[in-house]
Amino acid sequence: MHSDLLVKALAAIEPETTLERFKEASGIASRSVARSVLDFLASNNIGVVTKRAIKFSGPDRIYAAMLAVQSGCDIEQVSGHLSWKDFEKLASEVLKSFGYRTQTNVRLTKPRMEIDVVGVSSGFAIAVDCKHWKRSSMSSIASIAEKQAARAKRLLKHDSTISQAVPVIMMLHLGSRGLAGGVPVVPVHKFRSFVMDVKSFLPEIYSAG
């Protein structure tokens, strides 16, 4: 599948659509090519194609974006088709799949702060900051990590049921997991494995509580 077609498909992914609407929204001129793109996505567990409709779930857009990047598309071009909500949906879906109770856009006070996604399970929390840009300096990542660590610490006072909180920065890139000031910086395609193994990382990473 040509990577440019996958980028075009991102603009046409919605909860429920038809082949014709998908074709028009994506800008793919050929009906048969549009159908082949949909079949390719479905073969990668992105969307469900039936005779009457095509259905996508909440995080399917970002899964399609990851597939496009893995197929050779430029990350910045792909990111242009994504919103913060796409990243939040993915983080929430992954956390829920591991039994976490999730909230998005959690607002804290004194001082005023906001956490994109918080997942809580038995007093243990993962606080996610969603970033979808590609290029950044080490100093900017360090600054973001420091702020996210402060938000995780403040979260403990905001929610008395939480006894430990791990701050995480989730980004759309294909690099390896890393740390910035002890805060995990995790590419989206490794976020699921991170959540699965997070407690085994606790001796190496920053956690509040």
pTM metric for this prediction: 0.74
**pLDDT band for position 174 (50/70/90)?**
low
Higher confidence at residue 2 or residue 180?
A: 180
Structure-token pair, residue 113? 């702060």
Domain ranges of the chain: 3-79, 84-201
**pLDDT tens, residue by residue, 72-121:** 887 667 777 887 788 888 888 889 989 999 999 999 888 899 999 999 99
Better-predicted residue by pLDDT, 206 or 175: 206
Q: What is the pLDDT of residue 192?
A: 86
Average the pLDDT over 122-143 and give the result.
80
- For residue 176, the model assigns a pLDDT of 56
Residue 187, classed as helix, strand or coil, is strand
Q: What is the pLDDT of residue 175?
A: 60
Residue 65 pLDDT: 84
pLDDT at residue 88 in the model: 85
Residue in 115, 113, 112 with CA at minimum distance from that of residue 103: 115
Give yes or no for residue 135 having a pLDDT over 80.
no
Backbone torsions φ then ψ of 114, nearest 5 degrees: -145, 135
Q: Beta 124-131 vs 164-171: how paired, if at all?
A: parallel
| DSSP-assigned beta bridge partners for residue 113 | 108
Predicted confidence at residue 173, as pLDDT, reads 67
CATH number of this structure's domain 3-79, picked from the four choices 3.90.180.10, 1.10.10.10, 3.40.50.300, 3.40.640.10: 1.10.10.10
Which CATH architecture group holds 84-201? 3-Layer(aba) Sandwich (3.40)
Q: How distant, in Å, are the alpha carbons of 31, 57, 114 from that of 150?
A: 51, 33, 11
How far apart, in whole angstroms, are the C-alpha atoms of residue 18 and residue 195?
35
Specify the 3-state DSSP secondary structure of 5.
helix
